[in-house]
């Protein structure tokens, strides 16, 4: 077993653990984040964050399709599903990596 020395040891890379680790690093102390599972929270990786990004895209498409009710004319609205998923994965991965 490897021995490590640090000022702060955070156990668990959930939302609170990630925030605590980041706060410790920002405070200039040596911090270690201990997690046995995949990095990032369930919420960030597969739960509420990805779903909220997808819901935001769906709401934008819906708003564009219904804009005529406000006297706003737009062309055909097409959802580029691969682009929507790429955006969601980008922001998810960026958050999880932090």
Count of H helices and E strands in the chain? 4, 2
Better-scored residue on pLDDT, 12 or 98: 12
Query: Pick from 50, 49, 74: which is nearest to 62 by CA?
Result: 74
Residues 88-98 have pLDDT tens digits of 999 988 887 76
Better-scored residue on pLDDT, 49 or 87: 87
Residue 78: burial class (beta carbons within 10 Å; 0-12, 13-18, 19+): exposed
Tell me: pLDDT of 29 over 70: yes
Residue 41: burial class (beta carbons within 10 Å; 0-12, 13-18, 19+): buried
Residues 33-72 have pLDDT tens digits of 998 877 667 777 778 889 999 999 999 999 999 999 999 9
Give the model's pLDDT for residue 76.
95
The Cα–Cα gap between 70 and 41 comes to 40
3-state secondary structure of 96: helix
- The dihedral over CA atoms of 46, 47, 50, 54, expressed in degrees to the nearest 10, equals 120
Give the model's pLDDT for residue 40.
66
3-state secondary structure of 76: coil
Give the model's pLDDT for residue 72.
96
Give the model's pLDDT for residue 7.
96
């Amino acid at each position: 077993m490897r021995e490590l020395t640090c000022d702060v040891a955070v156990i668990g890379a959930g939302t609170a653990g990630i925030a605590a680790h980041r706060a410790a690093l920002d405070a200039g102390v040596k911090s270690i984040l201990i997690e046995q599972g995949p990095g990032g929270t369930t919420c960030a990786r597969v739960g509420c964050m990805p779903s909220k990004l997808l819901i935001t895209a769906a709401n934008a498409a819906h708003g564009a399709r219904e804009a005529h009710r406000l006297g706003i004319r737009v062309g055909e609205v097409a959802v580029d599903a691969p682009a929507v998923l790429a955006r969601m994965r980008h922001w998810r991965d960026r958050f999880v990596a932090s």
